[in-house]
């Protein structure tokens, strides 16, 4: 839960009505929602009723003093996270030390200085907002981790079952039966092994990239990298009956990047373009200077991607849920790897695509200063 600062709900606890009125007026005029409580007991009841975002708590009160109220709140996991700012009379050092001991977050002294009161409240609200953001972040990370493990387990177990099943059949086969169908089964086993191999390789690469280690930034000409990538993929393109073309401007395209990683990102994009394009299609590699950026694009006339899939494309294990896509071997990790590689180099990836027409993937990198 993130608390918008000005709308925070504050409980003010003080046995002196004059103080309650003063603080209530001050806070309300600054946009806070304020609930006053005249004793410790009433404060606890009010908190039970509705959890405040912050409590201003007077120390010296009859019956139950502020320390005791605070101790009770801190002992209950539902209320332990609510920041408590103690109100104390000036120069009561002992009190102030004890206020922190019982779990208080801060203190203000009487007589009140309006700006100080507001600053201390804002400070505590900022702290809890940041704390909630951090908790949300870790919860999201944890969900991602769980999802990653579920997908990886599923995708590794499936081919393993296939291999295991065929191995069991082969074990019981006699010579003639092996001659009839055994070789076909061995082929199936190799298929399963290749799937596991691809997945393990991609998962290890992604895990290594996430540590962000060993990024070596050097000034390189992206045009030269693109030429090299195009050269490497020519045989594969020819084998698939796809024309692979390269269009570069005459001037160099300098960028401060890790050459190996950018080459690897481009490898993945070109390999996808060839994989998801039918024979007779075309793949075009292009790079241009746009303001302070170099924009590299890999464009294909392939299967294309439905609009609803575009926001998920760079998620780990995501594959477009269409027969035409799923039928092609893949791990769903390639584009997550591309994204990690490019972002480590201070760039970003984008995609435009129309189903049944083709896709263009863009890598945007900052142009190196000349
Ligand atoms: P995969 O190993 O499945 O290719 P990627 O992470 O590289 O994994 O890609 C995720 C999904 O995005 C693919 O499964 C495919 O559905 C879609 N995709 C990627 N590149 C293209 C492309 N050039 N054309 C059409 N679809 C693509």
The domain that contains 352 carries what CATH number? 3.30.565.10
- 71 and 16 together in one domain: yes
- 175 and 274 together in one domain: no
pLDDT value at position 209? 83
Q: Of 282, 313, 315, which is best to mutate to test ligand 1, by the most ligand atoms within 8 angstroms of its C-beta?
A: 313
If you measure from the C-alpha of residue 221 to the centroid of ligand 1, how many angstroms do you get, rounded to a whole number? Answer: 27
If you measure from the C-alpha of residue 338 to the centroid of ligand 1, how many angstroms do you get, rounded to a whole number? Answer: 11
- The residues facing 285 across adjacent strands are 246, 298
pLDDT value at position 246? 97
For a pLDDT cut of 70, what percent of the chain falls above it?
A: 97
- 28 and 80 together in one domain: yes
Strands 33-37 and 84-89 turn out to be unpaired
- Model confidence at 205, pLDDT cuts 50, 70, 90, reads confident
Q: What is the CATH number of the domain that holds 176?
A: 1.10.287
The stretch 64-68 carries a mean pLDDT of: 94
pTM of the model: 0.70
SS (H, E, C) 143-184: HHHHHHHHHHHHHHHHHHHHHHHHHHHHHCCCHHHHHHHHHH
If you measure from the C-alpha of residue 229 to the centroid of ligand 1, how many angstroms do you get, rounded to a whole number? Answer: 19
pLDDT over 90 at 175, yes or no: no
Q: Tens digits of per-residue pLDDT, 143-164? A: 888 888 888 888 899 999 999 9
Q: What is the CATH number of the domain that holds 63?
A: 3.40.50.2300
Q: Of 198, 319, 337, which is best to mutate to test ligand 1, by the most ligand atoms within 8 angstroms of its C-beta?
A: 319
Asked if residue 327 belongs to a domain, the reply is yes
Asked if residue 135 belongs to a domain, the reply is no
- 185 and 47 together in one domain: no
Q: Which of 5-9, 75-79, 322-326 has the lowest mean pLDDT?
A: 5-9
pLDDT value at position 148? 85
Do 332 and 259 touch, CB atoms closer than 8 A?
A: no
Q: Ligand 1: which atom is nearest the Cα of residue 331?
A: 2
Q: Is the CB of 305 under 6 A from ligand 1?
A: yes
- 223 and 344 together in one domain: yes
pLDDT over 60 at 106, yes or no: yes
Q: Is the CB of 284 under 6 A from ligand 1?
A: no
Q: Tens digits of per-residue pLDDT, 114-125? A: 999 999 999 999
CA-closest candidate to residue 337, choices 318, 310, 360, 365: 318
pLDDT value at position 90? 63
What does the radius of gyration of the chain's CA atoms come to, in whole angstroms?
A: 32
Q: Which domain holds residue 197?
A: 145-211
pLDDT over 50 at 344, yes or no: yes
pLDDT over 80 at 2, yes or no: no
Q: Is the CB of 331 under 6 A from ligand 1?
A: yes
If you measure from the C-alpha of residue 330 to the centroid of ligand 1, how many angstroms do you get, rounded to a whole number? Answer: 8
CA 170 to chain centre: 45
pLDDT value at position 134? 93
User: Rounded mean pLDDT of the chain?
Assistant: 92
Do 8 and 32 touch, CB atoms closer than 8 A?
A: yes
Other beta carbons within 10 angstroms of residue 125's beta carbon come to: 20
Q: Is the CB of 298 under 6 A from ligand 1?
A: no
Q: Ligand 1: which atom is nearest the Cα of residue 325?
A: 16
pLDDT value at position 6? 52
pLDDT over 60 at 184, yes or no: yes
Asked if residue 131 belongs to a domain, the reply is no
pLDDT over 80 at 213, yes or no: no
CA-closest candidate to residue 23, choices 127, 110, 122: 110
SS (H, E, C) 248-283: CCCCCCEEEECHHHHHHHHHHHHHHHHHCCCCCCEE
Q: Is the CB of 316 under 6 A from ligand 1?
A: no
pLDDT value at position 1? 46
- The residues facing 86 across adjacent strands are 57, 107
Q: Which of 44-48, 179-183, 282-286, 355-359 has the lowest mean pLDDT?
A: 179-183
Please, which residues have CB within 8 angstroms of residue 324's CB and are 6 or more apart in sequence?
303
Q: Tens digits of per-residue pLDDT, 32-55? A: 999 999 999 999 999 999 999 999
The stretch 227-241 carries a mean pLDDT of: 97
The SS3 call for residue 63 is: coil
Asked if residue 19 belongs to a domain, the reply is yes
The stretch 102-110 carries a mean pLDDT of: 93
Asked if residue 120 belongs to a domain, the reply is no
């Amino acid at each position: 839960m993130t608390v918008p600062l000005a709308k925070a709900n504050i409980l003010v606890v003080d046995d002196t009505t004059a103080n309650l009125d003063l603080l209530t007026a001050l806070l309300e005029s600054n946009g806070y929602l304020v609930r006053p409580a005249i004793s410790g007991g009433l404060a606890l009841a009010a908190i039970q009723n509705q959890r405040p975002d912050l409590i201003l708590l007077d120390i010296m009160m009859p019956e139950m003093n502020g320390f005791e109220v605070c101790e009770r709140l801190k002992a209950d996991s539902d209320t332990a996270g609510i920041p408590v700012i103690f109100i104390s009379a000036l120069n009561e050092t002992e009190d102030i030390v004890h206020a922190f001991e019982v779990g208080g977050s801060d203190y203000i002294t009487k007589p009140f200085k309006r700006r100080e009161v507001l600053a201390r409240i804002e400070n505590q609200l900022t702290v809890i907002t940041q704390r909630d953001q951090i908790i949300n972040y870790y919860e999201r990370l944890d969900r991602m981790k769980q999802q990653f493990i579920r997908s990886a387990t599923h995708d590794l177990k499936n081919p393993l079952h296939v291999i295991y099943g065929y191995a069991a059949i082969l074990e019981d086969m006699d010579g003639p039966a092996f001659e009839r169908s055994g070789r076909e089964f061995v082929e199936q086993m190799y298929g399963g092994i290749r799937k596991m191999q691809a997945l393990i390789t991609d998962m290890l690469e992604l895990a290594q990239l996430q540590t962000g280690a060993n990024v070596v930034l050097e000034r390189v000409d992206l045009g030269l990298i693109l030429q090299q990538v195009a050269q490497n993929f020519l045989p594969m393109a020819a084998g698939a009956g796809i024309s692979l073309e390269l269009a570069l401007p005459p001037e160099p395209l300098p960028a401060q990047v890790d050459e190996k990683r950018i080459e690897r990102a481009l490898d993945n994009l070109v390999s996808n373009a060839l994989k998801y394009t039918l024979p007779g299609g075309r793949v075009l590699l292009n790079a241009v200077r746009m303001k302070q950026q170099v924009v590299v694009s890999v464009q294909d006339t392939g299967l294309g991607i439905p609009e609803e899939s575009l926001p998920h494309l760079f998620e780990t294990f995501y594959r477009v849920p269409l027969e035409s896509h799923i039928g092609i071997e893949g791990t769903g990790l390639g584009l997550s790897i591309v994204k990690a590689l490019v972002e480590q180099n201070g760039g970003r990836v984008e995609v435009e695509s129309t189903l049944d027409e083709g896709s263009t993937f863009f890598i945007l990198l900052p142009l190196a200063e000349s």
